[in-house]
Amino acid sequence: MDTYKTILTKLDVRQFDSKKVPAEVKLKVLEAARASGTGNNRQEWRFILVQEKEMVKKLAEDSTSGGWVVSANFAVIVVAAPTPSFHLIDAGRAVQNMELAAGTLV
């Protein structure tokens, strides 16, 4: 699928299938995040892959906005340094890349 079509057809959902996701897919999703551009090329972020079902459940329970991940096979926590001031834009770009990669891989 080409990138433009992926962007136009991407669905934002708050419910996930708990089926097993291959390690290669998870790695490609993380690589898509890592390859995202950042302000001043600083990469002031970290990505934490949460794969254990109980940890995903705990993450959902503790989250103020992401409780819907409870049924997901895995989750990625994006941690961005609060400085520079554009850290939220950089984190958003990384998340968007992960979403687009996931949409083309599954």
With contact defined as beta carbons under 8 Å apart, do 37 and 44 qualify? no
Task: Name the amino acid, one letter, at 26.
Answer: K
Q: What is the CATH number of the domain that holds 62?
A: 3.40.109.10
Q: How far apart are CA 21 and CA 18, in angstroms?
A: 9
pLDDT at 96: 93
pLDDT tens per residue across all 106 residues of the chain? 678 888 888 877 777 777 899 999 999 999 999 999 988 888 888 999 999 999 999 999 998 888 888 888 999 999 988 887 888 999 999 999 999 998 888 6
State the pTM of this model: 0.85
Q: Burial letters for 41-65: b for 16+ Cβ neighbours within 10 Å, e otherwise?
A: eeebbebeebeeeeebeebbeeeee
Residue 7 lies in a domain: no
| Residue in the structure block whose two tokens are 């934002």 | 12
Counting every residue written for the chain, the total comes to 106
pLDDT (0 to 100) of residue 104: 82
If one counts the domains in the chain, the total is 1
